[in-house]
């Protein structure tokens, strides 16, 4: 009888609290190196997996994360795609949801798990959440369906008791161990005594043998305009006249509403007429933009603003970077912003 091969997992360590250590002089947490992390999780040896690792040359606090780093992660996954069954990315929590969203677009046709995790307390601390998060992330990356295919075939965030779709996730707490949520999509798995996958929620490609397609160019000529009562025309116009601006994520009230004052509609219309893509998402953590519900939302749609439906802010920003980076024309970007590419919108 042939034995089942041991799952081969590649861990990619980018930095973040999970691998940080207190600086004895400043007392601030600083990124440390990967060996320190392995020394602190002897239990890893109890998993019957072949675990290899790749470490960022200089581990970073994830507040320093940028599209060049995303490209590095994508390259490591692409170079090692055929040699591993799954990938675990260790990452700071602050920008984890942005990285998860970006990777979901940059790794098109993914058919293996890319599980991103980190922790709120460094792994060397007694009450750390890092050890459990790391071990569970590895177990999820190694999980197989009865036909031998990976259970998870997408980018996901594992944190505390849940596995969330990467491009649906948001960091919701700066100090709670249960730090992430996906407000518009159910969990992919719930972690209790066992790991209980929510099979209906998992992403399944329409193609039976998807070929990984990697994409590196992320165009960052975009901005966010977060509405609040009392916004001044000169400031809104200043933002919309930023040289080189190609797209704006407009964070609106409720179901996608904005002030009906003529100067506001005019400023937005001028931007749209200049070819700037304006995408409407709601400031509410839960729910979606419905441009036909209120007059104030309808007016925006009539000026050519694209409804972003229930996209998270992180997904809206990174999806625009990805589509603009592909060099598509404005109409095509607008069309695809309303089309579900990899589970990012309902
Ligand atoms: N500032 C840290 C980071 O994002 C926070 C964390 O890892 O939880 O890298």
For residue 281, pLDDT over 70 is answered with: yes
Greater model confidence, 24 or 190: 190
138 Cα: distance to centroid of ligand 1 (angstroms): 20
For residue 106, give both structure tokens.
Answer: 């940059």
Tell me the pLDDT tens digit for each residue of 227-257: 999 999 999 999 999 999 999 999 999 999 9
Q: How far apart are CA 289 and CA 72, in angstroms?
A: 34
Helices (H) and strands (E) in the chain, counts: 9, 18
Task: List active site positions.
Answer: 17
pLDDT score of 235: 97
Please give the Cα distance from 44 to 38 (Å, whole number). 8
Structure confidence by residue, pLDDT tens digits, 197-234: 999 999 998 877 789 999 999 999 999 999 999 999 99
Give the Å distance between the CA of 102 and the centre of ligand 1. 18
Nearest residue CA, atom 7 of ligand 1?
92
Distance CA 269, CA 292 (A): 18
Q: Is the pLDDT of residue 141 over 70?
A: yes
Residue carrying the six token digits 């069954």? 85
Evaluate: CB of 118 within 6 angstroms of ligand 1: yes
261 alpha carbon – ligand 1 mean position (Å): 40
Instruction: Judge if the beta carbon of residue 117 lies within 6 A of ligand 1.
Output: no
Residue among 28, 58, 98, 118 whose CB has most ligand 1 atoms within 8 A, to mutate: 118
Percent of the chain with pLDDT over 70: 97
Helix or strand or coil: residue 2? coil
Are the C-beta atoms of residues 82 and 11 closer than 8 Å to each other?
Answer: no
Out of 102-116, 206-220, 294-308, least confident range: 294-308
Q: What is the pTM of this model?
A: 0.95
Q: Whose CA is nearest to atom 8 of ligand 1?
A: 93
Least confident window among 212-216, 256-260, 313-317: 256-260
Q: What is the pLDDT of residue 293?
A: 79
Which residue's CA is minimally distant from atom 3 of ligand 1? 92
Which atom belonging to ligand 1 lies closest to the Cα atom of 16?
Answer: 9
State whether the beta carbon of 129 lies less than 6 angstroms from ligand 1.
no
User: What per-residue confidence (pLDDT) applies to 17?
Assistant: 86
| For range 290-297, the mean pLDDT | 76
Distance, CA of 272 to CA of 269 (rounded, Å): 5
Q: Mean pLDDT over residues 59-73, rounded?
A: 96
Joined together, the tokens standing for residue 81 give 């795609």
Answer yes or no: are the C-beta atoms of 300 and 280 closer than 8 Å: yes
Q: Which atom of ligand 1 is nearest to the CA of 94?
A: 4
63 Cβ closer than 6 Å to some ligand 1 atom: yes
Closest CA to 307 of 291, 322, 324: 291
pLDDT in the model for residue 161: 95
Indicate whether residue 93 lines ligand 1 (CB < 6 A). Answer: yes
| Window from 19-23, 42-46, 146-150, 183-187 with minimum mean pLDDT | 19-23
Comparing 295 with 79, the larger pLDDT belongs to: 79
Distance of alpha carbon 175 from alpha carbon 183, whole angstroms: 19
pLDDT digits (tens, 9 = 90+) for 10-64: 999 998 888 877 778 888 877 766 676 667 788 888 899 999 989 888 889 999 9
Tokens of 69: 């780093």
- How far does the centroid of ligand 1 lie from the alpha carbon of residue 21, in Å? 12
Ligand 1 centre from 17 Cα, in Å?
5
Cα of 130 to ligand 1 centre, how many Å? 12
* 325 or 48: which leads in pLDDT: 325
Check whether 276 has a pLDDT greater than 70: yes
Instruction: Give the confidence band of 125 by pLDDT, cuts at 50, 70, 90.
Output: confident
The C-alpha R_g of the chain, in whole angstroms, comes to: 21
């Amino acid at each position: 009888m042939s034995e089942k091969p041991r799952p081969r997992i590649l861990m990619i360590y980018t930095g973040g609290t999970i691998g940080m250590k207190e600086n004895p002089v400043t007392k601030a947490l600083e990124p440390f190196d990967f060996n320190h992390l392995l020394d602190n999780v002897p239990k890893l040896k109890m998993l019957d997996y072949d675990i290899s690792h790749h470490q960022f040359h200089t581990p970073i606090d994830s507040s320093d994360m940028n599209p060049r780093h995303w490209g590095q992660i994508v390259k490591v996954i692409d170079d090692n795609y055929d040699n591993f069954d799954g990938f675990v990315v260790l990452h700071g929590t602050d920008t984890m949801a942005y990285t998860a969203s970006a990777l979901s677009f940059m790794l098109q046709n993914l058919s293996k798990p890319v599980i991103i995790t980190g922790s709120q307390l460094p792994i060397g601390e007694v009450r750390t959440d890092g050890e459990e998060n790391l071990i569970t992330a590895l177990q999820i990356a190694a999980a197989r369906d009865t036909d031998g295919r990976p259970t998870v075939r997408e980018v996901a965030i594992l944190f505390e008791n849940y596995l969330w779709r990467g491009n649906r996730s948001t960091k919701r707490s700066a100090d709670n161990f249960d730090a992430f949520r996906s407000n518009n999509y159910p969990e992919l798995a719930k972690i209790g005594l066992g790991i209980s996958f929510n099979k209906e929620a998992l992403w399944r490609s329409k193609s039976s043998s998807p070929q990984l397609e990697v994409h590196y160019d992320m165009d960052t000529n975009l901005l966010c305009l977060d509405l609040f009562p009392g916004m001044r025309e000169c400031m809104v116009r200043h933002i919309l006249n930023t040289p080189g601006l190609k797209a704006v994520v407009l964070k609106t009230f409720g179901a996608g509403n904005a002030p009906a004052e003529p100067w506001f509609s005019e400023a937005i219309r001028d931007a749209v007429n200049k070819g700037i893509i304006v995408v409407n998402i709601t400031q509410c953590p839960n729910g979606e933009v419905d441009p036909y519900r209120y007059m104030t939302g309808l007016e925006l749609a009539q000026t050519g603003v694209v409804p972003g439906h229930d996209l998270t802010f992180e997904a809206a920003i990174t999806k625009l970077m990805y589509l603009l980076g592909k060099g598509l024309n404005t109409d095509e970007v607008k069309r695809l912003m309303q089309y579900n590419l990899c589970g990012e919108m309902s």
